[in-house]
Amino acid sequence: MTVVKDSLAHGENVYLRGFGSFVVKQRAEKTARNISKNTTLVIPAHNIPAFKPANCFKEEVAK
């Protein structure tokens, strides 16, 4: 897990055949609103980790 975490931290995707893919997704900058204070704030662009299971893994879990 440390290798997966370090790879994602450096922007590299990790593919595990038969299990799934750990990928880094980029989120664009967006504007959010704080309704209680009636203010807007900008959420900067950032990267997030994501997991996409392999089809054979999804089929096994669905059984």
- Tokens representing 39 are 């203010």
- Three-class DSSP category at 61: helix
Q: How far is CA 49 from CA 19, 34, 44, in A?
A: 16, 26, 16
Note whether 47 and 26 are within 8 A (CB). Answer: yes
Residues 6+ positions from 54 with CB-CB distance below 8 Å: 16, 17, 18, 19, 20, 21
| Tens of pLDDT, residues 3-50 | 999 999 999 999 999 999 999 999 999 999 999 999 999 999 999 999
**pLDDT at residue 3, rounded to an integer:** 93
Note whether 11 and 33 are within 8 A (CB). Answer: no
Does the global pTM surpass 0.85?
Answer: no
